[in-house]
Amino acid sequence: MLKILDRYIIKTFFGPFFFIFSVLFFIFIVNIIWVQLGQFMGKGLSYWQILKLLFYLGVSVISMVLPLTILLAAIMSFGEFGERYELAAMKAAGISLTRVMLPLLGVTTILSIMLYFFSNNIIPDFQRKAKNMLFNIAQTKPALNFTPGQFIDQIPGYMVKFDKIYGEDGQNIEGVFVHRKASTYENQQSIVAEKGKFLPAANKDFLKLVLYNGYIFEDAFAGKNENARLNQPDQAVKFDTLVSHFDVSEIINKAIEEEQITDDYRFKTYNELNKEIVKNKKENAKFFSSTGDEILNQANTVISYMDKNKTKAKPKQQVKLDTVKSDKRLEMIYSAYDRLDNLKLNIEAKNNEIIPSVKYYSKVIIYQQRIVTYSFTCIIFFLIGASLGSIIRKGGMGLPVIIAIVIFIIFYIINVGVENVAWAGNMNPYLAAWLPNIILFPFGVWMTYKALTDSQLFDAEKYKALLKPITKRFTKNREHKRYQ
């Protein structure tokens, strides 16, 4: 059973927790919108489709938002305890800081376990939905958006231009030119009209266009030989009213959420990634072995060419290059250089083939391990945040937020840095995934120890006293000589 003190501590923690989580989630979503904005423009997406895509993308950032939220909430809640002298009252009543931190440590552990299952079972599914929606949006042609005086090819199979567009919904047009796209051996058709009007069609997959006072120019080239096409006269048909229907189903009925991409390591759970790692490791070992054998055979061929004058029966005496004629000497040097240069180019080509394999292998391992490491990051950030809050004894959104952001930036820089090193094949990917936690965990333990021992870690006067012997050497004695 939770005691009154435990309930009060947890309530104080979850107050800033939900607020900070909402703010950080909004910030990450805004960043996603800024990055993906170009893919939304001119695609004819509904507000519901955009919101759904942002939701799919936003779910995947929870694994980064939650640790930072715990860090900020811990600093702010314990800072408020210290600022309101509640920590001092608890200690005076015989309640240690360890006892105060215990209920929130339990809450953080539960959140860490929930984050693991969330990252393992839910995020992969939303990653698949988001990636497929982004792919389908990228493949979607722009929505119908006519600009006066410009040639537009958004209607499939046609090129159109309108000199003037007006009306409440832009349905009235003037100076109409419509050209049907066709190959050299198909009938060419162009329509010129004085004015026209867009009307709703019975079938929503079609665009209805009514034109007035115009001409249809057509060249019947289809199925005729070259001479007949050259002798084909121009045909023009005048009309008072012409009704045309254009098939725009390719634009309107594009399946934005159709899943075309299913094979991606980010769509898999922890156990499924284990199988992917084993499979990829075997493929890489086979590829590296065959590549090494190929390079070794080419190197042996070059060596055999340079040593081709030797025979089994009686090896010839080694010929000195200085004794060979100049033209023959240049030929030998050029031939040897070409063979060595080809060997070098082949080695570089094979190295370029190896780099993507190593990078993909590291990516899979790091992604798999981060399903677990981010859960441990939550606990480490709580230890750091709770300790800093009890030492700083300052609540609110000022100094605690600055310190938390600095710690998170350090964590993020380490995270990205070791990731790039691992992708280049210069670090074990398992070590790269766990290194940020390995670095920050001792710092969290040290901060907890400092908080438990009531260390004055941020006392400026303490550091001034330590540096006084050094600063004294560089400061002048301002006391007047007559008073010395």
**Which pLDDT score, from 0 to 100, does residue 295 have?**
65
Do 213 and 295 sit in the same domain of this protein? Answer: no
On whether residue 149 sits in a domain, the answer given is no
On whether residue 474 sits in a domain, the answer given is no
The angle at the Cα of 17, spanning 16 to 19, to the nearest 5 degrees, equals 65
Answer yes or no: is pLDDT of 60 > 80: yes
Q: Distance between CA 66 and CA 74 in Å, rounded?
A: 12
Do 383 and 357 sit in the same domain of this protein? Answer: no
E-strand stretches of 181-296: 188-199, 206-219, 235-247
Do 212 and 167 sit in the same domain of this protein? Answer: yes
On whether residue 263 sits in a domain, the answer given is no
Q: Which residue has the higher pLDDT, 311 or 328?
A: 328
**Which pLDDT score, from 0 to 100, does residue 466 have?**
66
Per-chain mean pLDDT for the chain: 78
Half-sphere exposure of 452 (CA within 13 A, CB side): 14
Do 57 and 182 sit in the same domain of this protein? Answer: no
- pLDDT > 90 in the chain, percent: 12
Cβ–Cβ contacts within 10 Å for residue 237, how many? Answer: 11
Picking from 182, 150, 147, 180, the residue whose alpha carbon sits closest to that of residue 165 is: 147
Do 304 and 402 sit in the same domain of this protein? Answer: no
CB-count exposure of residue 380 (10 Å: 0-12, 13-18, 19+): buried
Quick check: helix, strand or coil at residue 324? Answer: coil
Alpha helices by DSSP H, 84-152? 86-92, 97-117, 123-139
Q: Distance between CA 25 and CA 59 in Å, rounded?
A: 9
Picking from 155, 174, 135, the residue whose alpha carbon sits closest to that of residue 259 is: 135
Do 235 and 206 sit in the same domain of this protein? Answer: yes
Domain count for the chain: 3
Do 388 and 334 sit in the same domain of this protein? Answer: no
Q: Which of 200-204, 219-223, 268-272 has the highest mean pLDDT?
A: 268-272
**Which pLDDT score, from 0 to 100, does residue 312 have?**
44
Out of 366, 395, 412, a domain closes at: 366
Residue 403: which residues within 8 A CB-CB, separation 6 or more? 75, 388, 392
Out of 308, 337, 366, a domain closes at: 366
**Of 97-101, 186-190, 360-364, which gets the smallest average pLDDT?**
186-190
On whether residue 261 sits in a domain, the answer given is no
Q: Distance between CA 286 and CA 357 in Å, rounded?
A: 12
**347 is in which domain, residue-wise?**
269-366
Distance, first Cα to last Cα, the chain: 70
Out of 252, 279, 297, a domain closes at: 252
Do 171 and 61 sit in the same domain of this protein? Answer: no
E-strand stretches of 296-394: none
pTM, entire model: 0.67
Do 101 and 26 sit in the same domain of this protein? Answer: yes
